[in-house]
């Protein structure tokens, strides 16, 4: 993670992001970054016109009146949905981030997975990952 940079967003957008962040157990910053990564990923597969139509639809795809644009948007979303998990992570820029998954061998255990694939079993104490020593 790089050096933090302050940005300004509208209060309405911040409120919406805060609510989404709470539901997804993310920070406000994490939620805005998540949405930015999704936007970057979708822009890589849509024309600017189709991306704008999607944005203006307010996530109601039926609101995209032009059938060609609607088809482009639906095809891109279908392509993303049908791609592998690793492909999705790469498209969203998440393939270079540490991630965590439940450890099926231990109750309340986690597995930390580094970008290089290194896996470490442990647990979380507060917000800190603590590797198991045994």
pLDDT(100) > 60:
yes
Residue 18's pLDDT is 93
40 or 32: which leads in pLDDT = 32
Buried b (16+ CB within 10 A) or exposed e, 40-76: ebbeebbeeebbebbeebeeeeeebeeeebbebbeeb
Residue 72's pLDDT is 87
Contacts from 65-72 at CB under 8 Å and sequence distance 24+? 72/46, 72/47
User: Would you place residue 32 in the very low, low, confident or very high pLDDT band (cuts 50, 70, 90)?
Assistant: very high
Please write the tens of the pLDDT for every residue from 40-90.
877 777 888 888 888 888 878 899 999 998 998 888 888 878 888 777 777
- pTM surpassing 0.85? no
DSSP SS3 for 89: helix
């Amino acid at each position: 993670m790089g050096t933090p940079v302050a940005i300004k967003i509208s209060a309405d957008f911040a409120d919406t992001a805060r609510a989404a962040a709470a539901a997804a157990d993310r920070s406000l910053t994490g939620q805005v970054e998540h949405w930015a990564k999704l936007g970057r990923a979708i822009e890589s597969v849509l024309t600017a016109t189709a991306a704008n139509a999607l944005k203006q639809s307010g996530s109601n795809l039926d609101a995209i009146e032009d059938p060609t644009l609607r088809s482009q948007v639906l095809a891109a979303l279908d392509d993303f949905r049908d791609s592998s998990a690793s492909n999705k992570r790469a498209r969203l820029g998440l393939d270079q981030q540490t991630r965590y998954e439940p450890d099926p061998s231990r109750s309340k255990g986690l597995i930390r997975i580094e970008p290089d694939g290194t896996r470490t079993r442990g647990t979380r104490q507060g917000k800190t990952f603590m590797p198991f020593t045994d």
